[in-house]
Structure 1
Amino acid sequence: MLGCVIHGAGDLRVAELPEPEPGPGEALVAVRHGGVCGSDLHYWRHGGVGDFRLREPMVLGHEVVGTVVSYGSGATGPAPGTAVAVHPATPCGHCPECSDGRPNVCRDTRYLGSAARFPHVQGAFAGRIAVPAGQVRALPEGLGLRRAALAEPLSVALHAVRRAGAVSGGHVLVTGAGPIGCLVVAAAKAAGATRVTAADPVPEALRYAAVAGADALVRADDPADAGWPDEVDVAVEASGVAAGLDTCLRRVRRGGVVVQLGMLPPGRSPFAGNLLVSREIELRGAFRFSAEFDDALELLAARGEFDGLVSAVVPVGEAADAFALAADRTRSCKVLLEFGD
């Protein structure tokens, strides 16, 4: 079977990989689509994500959907042939964070396609993968595999909005209109936000934010843009750059909430900390997700506008082109790799 293996910065290879056999408690899934994530692009461009650096070749990918093939001993789940999405995280279940109901920040988790630990956790950009059966979710009725491939990034967005607290009836600013930022727009609207403003320096990205439901679009590189709100109730920073965080802190109201979702560069990042004090702003981090995965599948099944965020579906054999397309924000939002028939 074909798989996408990253060997270092700029060194992505499509290689023949051995087909796995499901072990005890595992499900074997034939992958159909895999979404190219910002973290995949970081591994490809820079050889790492934040503080997580490549130390050995690693199969990329954690946003995958497909069909169940079979199960290992002792495993049960959706019947073979069922269309499924794969939750990419395996938390340890017994650390303080897991015990506190926050498995998304588990200190010993295993996450598909992540270099956070060594040996790395191999990812899911392959024709078939063996995963713990409990991570397999049957798709809700009416949800096709193409749209379901957005379940993992939408879960990230739902978690970020929930970290903000109540947004119903409020005005939410989202800085960064990449795939995650656009899905934060959709998640905020689904949570009842009355108005969502999306900011990004790339006009094409803002058009995708409009597809996701943004009420106002602002050029992030133009402080004189008439669309800038005087203040918002909640701001979600989804660009991963310090300038976006600065914008959020300066635009959120006194006593408001800022959620840092985008992964900032490694090392120190300057920010307007004095505003946290003088305005009593709450700055909260958001990392991955947990139970939101099931909610994301239900939301995807209910709303067809998500289809407009999938820019292209590219065969795995052309993975290099897919990554180049996904990295070009003037030409794409979410790019999917296609495996099998």
Structure 2
Amino acid sequence: MPPPAPVESSAGPWVEMSALGAEGRRDHRNAESREEEQEADVDQVKEEEEQWRRGIQEQQQEIEAHTAITSGAHSDADYGRSTYGRQHRGGDGDEEEEEDGDGEEVLTVDDAIDSIGFGPYQFFLVCYTGLAWLADAMEMILLSFVGPAARCEFRLSAAEESLIASVVFLGVFLGSYVWGLVADSYGRRRGFMATALFTLFAGLLSAWSPTFLTLLVSRCLVGFGIGGASVVFSLCSEFLPSPSRGFWLVFIEFFWTVGSLLEAALAWAVMPSLHWRTLVLLSATPFALLLLLYPLLPESPRFLLVSCSSGTSPVKAAVHIHFNLFQVINI
């Protein structure tokens, strides 16, 4: 008996189509979920990138805030225009002042000094610097009167007598370089105090020199201290307004002539009746007067800007700058 023929179900094709449809829907849902995951990943990447950009912008704003105080070391041949804010060079080489976030112009230190003008405090600085110039002149002219007297006391030859003057200029040569480094590192104010103390000590030491050798050494040290006289000269020039700066810097040179005449008059009064050591001692007294007036001497705002660029707190430097300028205005 032949086997019965297989009975085909009328629902077979529909079942197969349904199975295929379900599988297609699953594939479609899987594809959609993958697309959603990819979109989520893209959104996450964009969000992270946006956060990174915001972080960079915040860092730039902080840097610009510090730069508003610390940038100021744009130096030209004459030490440049130290800025109290940010500056850049234009296409034609002229300096252009930027504006801060509030639309206000950022002034330079030179602009602040020029706006203050020349007043009583600037005149005090000119006289103070002139007193330092006078003291240096007295120490230099002193050699003309001390040499012959020391030659008699120590029984020196003409060559040995001339050596007393030579070692002073050797000290000036060395001191002018060293004190410049000190002033750039620790400030013009502190640098000048160090030079005045050093010169006063060396001058007093030379007045009590028991031998020719100690006299040579002490006078060389005096020259070394005199080499730092330009420190206070630079400090004074940085507080003078540009329209009258040249006149007053030349006026300071007049004190050198006054010091030379004063030393000659002092030698005329002292040498006939007193010892040459008394003249040396009296010639060092102007440095003591400079030290007494030292508390009235301000620090240079330009140095404070440069020093905060090299590590000093910008806030501390800004406080010192404002105090110095306020002191200049209100005295």
TM range (shorter): under 0.3
TM-score between both structures, scaled by the size of structure 2: 0.22
Structure with higher helix content: 2
TM-score between both structures, scaled by the size of structure 1: 0.21
Higher relative contact order (CA closer than 8 Å, sequence separation 6+)? 2
Larger radius of gyration: 2
Structure with higher strand content: 1
